[in-house]
Amino acid sequence: MAITHKQGSDAAHGHDDHGHGVGDAHDHGPTGFISKYIFSFDHKVIGIQYLLLAIGMSFIGVGLSFWFRTQLAWPGHDVMTPEQYVSFVTMHGTIMIFFVVSAALSSGLGNLAIPLQIGARDMAFPLLNMLSFWTILPAALIMIASFFVEGGASGGGWTVYPPLSALRNTLPGAKWGTTLWLLAMALFIVSFTMGGLNYTATILNLRARGMSLMRMPLTIWCWLIATLLGLLGFPALTAAAIMLLLDRHGGTSFFLPSGLIVSGEPMANVGGTPLLFQHLFWFLGHPEVYVLVLPAIGVAFDVIATFARRPPQAYRYSVYSLLVIALLGMVVWGHHMFVSGMNPYLGKYFSISTLLITAPFAILGVNLVGSLWKARIRFTTPMLFALGLVSAVGTGGIGGLFLATSTADLHFHDTYFVVGHFHLMIGVVTLTGTFAGIYYWFPKMFGRMMNETLGKIHFWTTIIGTFAVFTIQHFQGLGGLTRRYYEYSAQVMMPAASLNPMVTMFAFLAGAGQLVFFVNFFWSALRGPKAGENPWDATTLEWTTPSPPGHGNWPGALPVVTGDPYGYATGPDGNGFRMQNAKD
Amino acid sequence: MESNRPDSWERSVAPGRRADSIQTMAFIMVAGAIMLFTTFTASYLVRRESVDWAGMALPRLVWVNTALILLSSVTMEIARKVRAGGAPRWVAATIGLGVLFLVGQVFVWKQLADRGAFVSTSPHASFFYMLTAVHAAHLAAGITVLLFAFRRAGRAPLGVCAAWWHLVGGAWVWVALLLAFF
Amino acid sequence: MPRRNSGSASALLLASFLLIFTAATVGAMIYKKCYLPPVMSHHGIGVDKMIMYIIFAAGFIFVVGHLVLSKFIVTYSGTGGESYKPMSHRAELFFTFGPVILMVAVSEIGVLVIGAPVWHEVYTQQPDDLVIEITAKQYEWTARYPGKDGKFGLRDIKQYDETENVLALDKHDKTGKDDIVSRGLLVLPAGKGVWFNIRSWDVLHSFNIPVFRTKQDAVPGIFTHTRVVPTTVGTAEIACAQICSAGHYRMKAKVLIKSPEDFAKWLSEQTGQFE
């Protein structure tokens, strides 16, 4: 493909006399408040905007979960109606996955760290980056607004399986809530796509001189692969959402079969296939799990290397594992559908292929633990979170063995075992990764350090609370407790259901810990001790520029990479470290 | 305020890298669009196995439109090859053919509607309306990009424009064959 | 070289937490017998075997992993001590792929040897199976037995009636005359294979009987299937396992498992829908 290399014909490119070349410094950033903090093109500001959005949305997402956890722990007190229950469960899932975890980790920390770690002045397309944020914001607002339309918010589960989501008379939230849900998701997909295109273009093309692919920090690898997975997966969901919207409002029958009778009323639909939607949904849905989890694992690799004072174990094989995860991740979606009515032979295939994916994940796990071997560990707050992540990713991954086995899934499908498992993976792993990243890169956001004491209180409440909650939920699932129940009355489930008050109490503990983080975040941003250029003695490129980096990231020329990203344990006593751009 | 424009950044990036970035973006967008149309194709093939499937004859105009879009790919190629001097003219021709195609599609819709085939009439009609609309959105995006390229005269990255345009053209041929013969 | 102890308080705290967490998890599993509810079906025993196999395999990895992690956290905290030297390439290969190959082998063999026959049993109809049709609709389960002729009658959606004819059976079809319709109650013979044809009127539901280890979605428009051989006489419950709107939690039905004689007696006492 031939591309013209002549650039800059539009208006602002007019004064090309100002300078060219990679190493140019820019000391004149935007000056007005709006252009600096609101409609900013600066990746660092956009990253912080995403983080703030995620923190805001987490109050709603977590608040909803406290509300329905109260109902589950102490039923019969009119805490909420069953209609509210299903829509709160649905919205909790949607908000937490797309507007908290994805927004904070993929978008927030990714925006902040990617250009800094690869030695670029900004993203490849700063305007697109800004638009990406200003598209997710209305998506979040529409999602919130759906609580206030007739019938309330969508209540069909975050998986919006038809016919429940395709028929507008099946539940109150299906009237308008699901439509708004789909619109908000459409905007989210647009936003994710813009961000993802930016990530890929930036990582592939704007790396500092000397940074070959195998010299990229593992975080960057994880973001790159997660982004590619998302970009290839989301079109499937887009197609499914278009067909679902047409079924809801266009009178079509893509997913609506013949012979439907809803509340005694025969429907006119003919011939659709509800299972098709599930296939399309999970074709995205499963890679989406890796989109969320991989960046967290990447952050853990970086943080552990820094505070263990040694390079990560077997960097190369971690990278290969990530590539294998990406490939296998696209062909295992059916393990979400073992009992959906899918052909049993397909079930067997998906079971076998899904268990294969334990291989690359096990390599990542072994390498995470192995990175501590002969280390000299410093127990800072980010390191604590990263170590917590290692435990969580192991425990959660092991739970996956149960669910990937189709025969065992006959018992576990749609029980609290699934709930506990995916919360460990895309709740605890992602959030410990996010927190490790926030504590670690805080100097690069605000030029200050976060408070370590508060950080440790935050760590211990989070880790004790969440581990207890989700481990007990695994037990409940073993006991056959079905998920998405407003209250329990089946005899066989009562022993498992009796653990609910304990789960709720631990959830409150974990929630209280997040308030400590909230205070720490804002207090430290304004009043925390000033951070130097490289407070952690880390080696990657973001630590070669002042904290916080100015407009353009490096005051002088861009760094030139001369070695591996993890130059730890150097020198005669093994206590030295070598910056990635060291000239030696 | 001036310096807040993204372009002040882009000047700090070597021009070749900027072009590479655009190329990467275009490559992934093409891959994403292929995924989208593949998904629709899979859905179509699953759905047509159902008992109620009844194919309808497509208006002949569809093939005229197909010819138009194929022709536009040719003009796009010429624009890419001749570059600076004559490029704007050929870009304009491509845009014109694209718009003509869209107008033609509207007439196809009208003919179908006159026959009484609406989006909810039959599954085949549902797919026809949906796929043409989704394709039209992709084509409209292509036209928008080409309009920018036209304004930039001979200095636009016509390679990526052409990649997208050929994708849209190829997707249409694919969709038309799928709807007509499967 | 002497080891300096900075950071060891955090190290001990974190390592003890991880060990307590591991011990508590293992202890709870042993004390509560893995929390599994009683099992009352033939394939259910196989499912439990599969689950127990994974519990042991996964439990082993879980415990060993946490022991190693805790050990590393304590041993390698602080500064000083032996300094890091990269592993030899061979050692790196061994530690990367050794555990992985072991893990994949263990899980795949488990699935193929223990899991696959059970999976096959659940989805294969046997010639002498009793066939029962299960119809789900929002918040209700209905069972249909073929009656004396052993054949299910046709349906006619126009004849649907919420109270009189909830399965929309065709009054004019002779084979359907003796079909037995049982709303909210499923009666099964112990020791005999039962093949279920499952369908739904409206949205997705899931035919979930925890004590049988049976779970199969009910999908409108198609029949899904599952097979059960109840082993003991007793009672159980169907509890919907696929979100089906706000009343999902109360979508239950009673299951009675009778001895073959009692079952035959019960069946003979029932009258057909249109008899």
Q: pLDDT tens digits for C158-184? A: 899 988 899 999 989 888 888 999 999
Query: Average pLDDT, stretch A271-288?
Result: 93
Is A494 within 8 Å of A435 (Cβ atoms)? no
Average pLDDT in the C83-108 region? Answer: 87
User: Percentage of chain C with pLDDT > 90?
Assistant: 73
Least confident window among A150-154, B166-170, C206-210, C234-238: A150-154
Quick one: pLDDT at residue A32? 79
Q: Which of A416-420, B78-82, C194-198 has the lowest mean pLDDT?
A: B78-82
pLDDT tens track for A362-400: 999 999 999 999 999 999 999 999 999 999 999 999 999
Cα-based distances in Å from A135 to A193, B22, B57: 11, 21, 41
pLDDT at B80: 86
- Please report, rounded to a whole number, the percentage of residues in chain B having pLDDT higher than 70: 88
Three-class SS state of A113: helix
The answer to whether C64 contacts chain A (CB < 8 Å) is no
Residue B16: pLDDT band (50, 70, 90) is low
Neighbours of A584 (CB within 10 A): 8
Residue A11 has pLDDT above 50, yes or no: no
CATH node for C130-269: 2.60.40.420
B19 touches chain A (CB under 8 A): yes
Determine the average pLDDT of the residues in C17-39: 95
How far is it between the farthest Cα atoms of chain B? 63
Per-residue model confidence (pLDDT) at position B13 = 52
* Mean pLDDT across chain A: 91
Q: How far is A575 from chain C (nearest CA, A)?
A: 8
Name the closest residue on chain C to residue A415, using Cα atoms.
C241
Beta bridge partners of C228: C194
Choose the weakest-confidence range: A62-71, A335-344, B46-55, C110-119.
B46-55
Q: What's residue B14's pLDDT? A: 56
The 3-state secondary structure of A486-555, one letter per residue: CCCCCHHHHHHHCCHHHHHHHHHHHHHHHHHHHHHHHHHHHHCCECCCCCCCCCCHHHHCCCCCCCCCCC
pLDDT at site A7? 36
- Taking contacts as CB-CB distances below 8 angstroms, the residues of chain A near C82 are 374
Across the range A422-439, mean pLDDT stands at 96
In B, which residues are within 8 Å of A238 by CB distance?
36
What's the pLDDT score for residue A8?
A: 34
Q: Answer whether C36 touches A (CB < 8 Å).
A: yes
pLDDT digits (tens, 9 = 90+) for B102-158: 999 999 999 999 999 999 999 999 999 999 999 999 999 999 999 988 887 667 788
User: Interface partners of B (3+ CB pairs, < 8 Å)?
Assistant: A
| Residue A236 confidence (pLDDT) above 50 | yes
| Distance in angstroms (rounded) separating the CA atoms of residues A313 and B49 | 51
Query: What subunits make at least 3 CB pairs under 8 angstroms with C?
Result: A
Q: Which residues are C234's β-sheet partners?
A: C257
ipTM: 0.95
Residue A68: list chain C partners with CB under 8 A.
none
Residue A198 has pLDDT above 60, yes or no: yes
Q: C275 and chain A: CB distance < 8 Å anywhere?
A: no
Q: Give yes or no for C184 touching A (CB within 8 A).
A: no
Mean pLDDT of A142-169: 93
Is any Cβ of chain A less than 8 angstroms from the Cβ of B130?
A: yes
DSSP A64: H
Nearest CA in chain C to A269: C221
Measured distance CA(A202)–CA(C232) in Å, rounded: 64
Out of A344, A387, A496, name the one closest to residue C123 (CB).
Answer: A344
CB contact under 8 A, A405 and C100: no
Distance CA A545, CA C99 (A): 40
Share of chain A above pLDDT 70, in %: 95
Whether residue A376 and residue C210 make contact (CB cut-off 8 A), yes or no, is no
pLDDT at A35: 79
Amino acid at C108: E
Q: Under an 8 A CB cutoff, do A372 and C72 touch?
A: yes
Chain B residues inside the 8 Å CB shell of A201: 20-22, 24-25, 28
Q: Which of A255, A335, A411, A502 should be substituted to probe chain C, the one whose Cβ sees the most C Cβ atoms within 10 Å?
A: A411
Return d(Cα A34, Cα A513) in angstroms, integer: 33
Neighbours of B61 (CB within 10 A): 15
**Rounded (10°) angle between helices B15-47 and A177-205:** 140
Beta-carbon separation of B51 and A234 below 8 A: no
pLDDT above 60 (res A557): yes
Domains and CATH numbers, chain B: 2-181 (1.20.120.80)
CA distance A245 to A469: 36
pLDDT cut 70: percent of chain C above it: 97
Q: Which of A339, A354, A421 to mutate to test the interface with C (most CBs of C within 10 A)?
A: A339
Q: Which of A267-271, B70-74, C43-47 has the lowest mean pLDDT?
A: A267-271
What is the C-alpha end-to-end distance of chain A, expressed in Å?
40
pLDDT tier, B5 (very low <50, low <70, confident <90, very high otherwise): very low
Is A205 an interface residue toward C (CB < 8 Å)?
A: no
A142-146, A286-290, A296-300, B13-17: least confidently modelled range: B13-17
| Preceding omega of C127 cis (within 30 degrees of 0) | no
| The pLDDT of residue B6 is above 80 | no
A505-514 pLDDT tens trace: 999 999 999 9
Provide the pLDDT confidence category of residue C218 given band limits of 50, 70 and 90: very high
Q: pLDDT at position B84, please?
A: 59
Query: What confidence category does residue B54 fall into, taking pLDDT thresholds of 50, 70 and 90?
Result: confident
Cβ contact, residue pair B160, A3, below 8 Å: yes
pLDDT at B36 over 50: yes
Q: At what angle do helices A43-73 and A500-527 cross, to 10 degrees?
A: 150
Dihedral pair phi/psi, residue C46, rounded to 5°: -65, -45
The DSSP string of C174-222 is GGGTT-EEEESEEEEETTS-EEEEEEESSS-EEEEEGGGTEEEEE-BTS
Residue A249: predicted pLDDT: 94
Chain A residues whose beta carbon lies within 8 Å of the beta carbon of residue B50? 271-273
Query: In the predicted model, is pLDDT for residue A567 greater than 60?
Result: yes
Decide if A492 and C10 are in contact by the 8 Å CB cutoff: no
Domain spans of chain C?
Answer: 8-79+90-122, 130-269
B1 vs A157: which has the higher pLDDT: A157
Q: Which own/partner pairs from A241-244 qualify as long-range (CB within 8 Å, at least 24 positions apart)?
A: A241/A182, A241/A185, A241/A186, A241/A189, A242/B130, A242/B134, A243/A277, A243/B43, A243/B130, A244/A160, A244/A162, A244/A165, A244/A166, A244/A182, A244/A277
Other CB atoms closer than 10 Å to residue A421's CB: what's the count?
A: 24
SS3 A482: strand
- The per-residue pLDDT for A171 is 86
What CATH class has A43-255+269-569? mainly alpha
Where is C258: in which H helix or E strand? strand C252-258
**How many Å is the Cα radius of gyration of chain B?**
19
Q: Would an 8 Å CB–CB cutoff place C23 in contact with chain A?
A: no
Query: Which residue in C has a C-alpha nearest to residue A368's C-alpha?
Result: C69
A interface test, pick of C35, C43, C61, C256 with most A CB neighbours within 10 Å:
C35
Query: Could you give phi then psi for residue B12, rounded to 5 degrees?
Result: -85, -10
Inter-chain CB proximity C245 and A86 less than 8 Å: yes
